[in-house]
Amino acid sequence: MNLKMIGIDYTTAQIDIRQSFSFTKKAMASAMDQIQKNSEIRGCVLISTCNRMELWLSLAKDSKIVLSEFLCGLKGLSAQEYAAYLVERENRQAVEHLFYLSAGLKSQIMGEDQILTQVKEALAFAREQECADQVLEVLFRMAVTAGKRVKSHVVLDKANFSAAHHAVEFLKSLGYRLKGKCCLVIGNGEMGKLTAQALMEEGADVAVTVRQYRSGMVNIPKGAKRMDYGERYQYIPRCDFVVSATASPNFTITREGILGCCKEVHVKKGQEQVFLDLAVPRDMEPAIARLEHVRYFDMDSLPVELQSEQMRYQYQQAEEILKEEIQKFEDWQQCRDLAPRIQQIGEDAAKELIWRLEKPLRHLELSEQEKELFQKRVQDTAAKVVGKLLFELRDQAEQETLRRTVEIMENIYKSS
């Protein structure tokens, strides 16, 4: 295994730097297409969220790829300028990182659930692009399973909090009241929906923007108003809170846009409006913070939760589960040498099945061509069934049990 990852997150860089490395789905697909052309790369997965970006690569043994230069090359950036913000991990260290990440133990909000879905979606997207090789496929699948097990057995103090809920709690900690307030949420993706839901749970009056051409296809949280994205500036003057959480590469809110529609209203109201940007790259132009009666927050404004004694105990519980799950992956990795032998056993079993079917086939009124086709399909199917059983055994049994089973089956076919 030659597994490496390189990433950037909220612990190593502020949002101004992080947004340079974020990927939209379209940009991710383009990057993966470029990555696949490199003969040193066996597989890749990209994770891109509001707090982090990670590039995972399964490499040839003799690969000479310099990760910082490779990643910066994909983004058209200078490796010399940005390398200090990037973190690289390989093999065991990388594996541990992904398992802890999937369980929410490396999130800005300890124990949050959203990262587990994001890791799962990253693998699914890599599959769609035909970029995930066997190592990454198994690694990410087992990391997701480990994350689910932690969620099921350990109740972290801050669990079930998304960044959206965390943002709402942050506003409340500053003394803002949300009940009865007029709120606009720009974005109807996962983060936008979670934000709208969190605000409505506090009793706010919420409107969610929807692009006109997608209006009929998009579901928004029950109880929220639906608004055409193109009318957002006309609605902002009546809002107490404006939140943006999209995957757009462009600003959804600009200083000029607010001044064009809202300047007089701001002066008349004489009260503060809150603008909260939950996107990476930014949705809101930072210059709006200089407008009168405006208070602006972004992802870096949200505080990192300090761990209580109870939280540390729960973290240790989660660690024990993750150690067990990581060991399972390492056991799988050590047994990869058995793959060719398992495939051979499957082929041998299939040949025996065809041999045993020869007599019954004589009584069927089939042409020679039909008989050959039937035998070929039966043989292929039998080989897959036997192979699947042994590969499942590889994933679930103790290493010694698997090796002994393979040896016994090999001896059976050697002696027959």
Transcribe 134-190 into DSSP letters: HHHHHHHHHHHHHHHHHHHH---TTTT--HHHHHHHHHHHTT---TT-EEEEE--SH
Q: How far apart are CA 130 and CA 123, in angstroms?
A: 10
How far is Cα 240 from Cα 181, in angstroms, rounded to an integer? 6
Identify the bridge partners of residue 277 per DSSP, sorted by sequence position.
244
User: For residue 224, what is the DSSP state?
Assistant: P
Type of residue numbered 286: P
Which residue numbers are catalytic? 50
Looking at residue 210, its amino acid is V
Place of tokens 């950037």: 8
Between CA 374 and CA 368 the distance in angstroms is: 10
Backbone angles phi, psi at 248, to 5 degrees: -70, 140
> Cis peptide before 281, with omega less than 30 degrees from 0?
yes
